């Protein structure tokens, strides 16, 4: 393949990948509040499970 042709294809592909990455980044920032809500929910579940678990015996102090 001719070097100039190869370079032109590479630049076109890089531009396509950048555009796709930008679209993905915009979509990810649009759904962040939902992600935050899910993380908060799972954190509350974890805290509740820790509170409901039977307490472990205290370690002996030496």
Enter the pTM of the model. Answer: 0.45
For 10-59, the three-class secondary structure string (H helix, E strand, C coil) is HHHHHHHHHHHHHHHHHHHHHCHHHHHHHHHHHHHHHHHHHHHCCCCCCC
Each residue's pLDDT tens digit, 33-62:
677 888 899 999 999 999 998 777 777 666
Q: If phi over 0 gives left and psi between -120 and 50 gives alpha, with beta otherwise, what is residue 54? A: beta
Average pLDDT over residues 12-31: 88
Nearest-angstrom CA–CA distance, 45 and 12: 47
- Give the pLDDT band of residue 32 (cuts 50, 70, 90): low
Q: What is the pLDDT of residue 33?
A: 65
């Amino acid at each position: 393949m001719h070097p100039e042709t190869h370079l032109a294809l590479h630049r076109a592909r890089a531009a396509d990948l950048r555009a796709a990455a930008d679209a993905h980044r915009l979509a990810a920032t649009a759904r962040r509040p939902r992600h935050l809500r899910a993380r908060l929910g799972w954190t509350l579940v974890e805290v509740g499970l820790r509170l409901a678990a039977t307490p472990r015996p205290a370690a002996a102090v030496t």
